[in-house]
Amino acid sequence: MSSNDLKINPYLAVSESDETDNGDETEHQLQLALAARDEFLSIAAHELRTPLSTLTIHMQMALRQIEKNDPRIFSKEHLEKIFQISHRQTTRLIGLVDQLLDVSRIMNGRMKLDLEDIQINKLSTEILHRFQDEANDAHTPISLNIDHEMHGNFDRRGLDQVLSNLISNAIRFGNAKPIQVKIYTETDQMIVEVKDSGIGIDQKDFCKIFKKFKKIGESNPSSGLGVGLYITRQIVLAHGGRIYFNSQLNEGSTFTVRMPLTREIKSEFISKECH
């Protein structure tokens, strides 16, 4: 377990406190853990509240029109719009709850991989298709360059999350500039590169971004929980792989994932990077 986990997990900090003689240090760790928990609760509550508020407002507006017997409410276009909004907001809620469950599973050591043979070009094309609306809204073109007929032994949901989190960040922080996704093999490894030309990351924040509930910068436009990269890294490590990035402020970032095409657990990776 890393020192990052110690700082952010209040339960761990409390149990560690029994074993140390240094009262001040323990008190300090406990304060940090409690502050991190409070910050997390406030981010999570805010993020969960946003889609719920949007849903409630639209439901109230629809109810008011029904009460007034406004015939427009029953038109196909209107009903379609209401269901589209509801679908988007409930999908967002499910995504947030799933992320929280993933973090909880990781922290409790309960992350499980179901390995299967995956057609990587099929999966990555599907994922890109899923992000098309979001990319269009952000005026961000995305290109996918992938070796044909690539297969690998991965957990489907895990690989989906790795690609989705990196693409979602590239769109979110990409400043509406083109994004390039490249997937290829190198001997027995799958390499994924997601390159954006967006806001980039300040060098002083390099080691923060893989921590859970971390959003960097005062004016961070992210509407997320700050857990995408934390989950991504844990999934990559569990597959025996590595994740790293190059980034320059205001120039953009390239995130690279290397995962063995066939499973080989290398647990020593777990404690080595950025602590």
Ligand X SMILES: Nc1ncnc2c1ncn2[C@@H]1O[C@H](COP(=O)(O)OP(=O)(O)OP(=O)(O)O)[C@@H](O)[C@H]1O
Per DSSP, the three-state class of 49 is helix
**Among residues 10, 51, 152, 228, which is the contact residue for ligand X, using CB under 6 A?**
228
- How many Cβ atoms from other residues are within 10 Å of residue 140's Cβ? 20
**Among residues 150, 201, 237, 243, which is the contact residue for ligand X, using CB under 6 A?**
201
Tell whether residue 167 is a contact of ligand X (CB under 6 A).
no
Phi, psi of 246 (to 5 degrees): -120, 135
Query: Is the Cβ of residue 29 or residue 254 nearer to ligand X in the bound state?
Result: 254
Q: Tell me the window of 64-72, 123-131, 169-177, 180-188 that interacts with ligand X (CB under 6 A).
A: 169-177
Tell whether residue 162 is a contact of ligand X (CB under 6 A).
no
- Compute the distance between CA of residue 171 and CA of residue 266 in angstroms, rounded to an integer: 31
Q: Tell me the window of 74-82, 103-111, 137-145, 224-232 that interacts with ligand X (CB under 6 A).
A: 224-232
Q: Which residues does 5 contact at the CB level (< 8 Å), separation at least 6?
A: 12, 107
Pick from Mg ion, ligand X, none: which does 107 bind, CB < 5 to 8 A by kind? none
Exposed / middle / buried, residue 26 (Cβ in 10 Å: 0-12, 13-18, 19+): middle
**Among residues 9, 193, 196, 238, which is the contact residue for ligand X, using CB under 6 A?**
196
Tell whether residue 227 is a contact of ligand X (CB under 6 A).
yes
Tell whether residue 192 is a contact of ligand X (CB under 6 A).
no
- Compute the distance between CA of residue 74 and CA of residue 67 in angstroms, rounded to an integer: 12
Beta bridge partners of 257: 192, 243
**Which residues would be at the binding site for ligand X (CB under 6 A)?**
99, 165, 169-170, 172-173, 196, 198-201, 209, 214-217, 220, 222, 224-230, 253
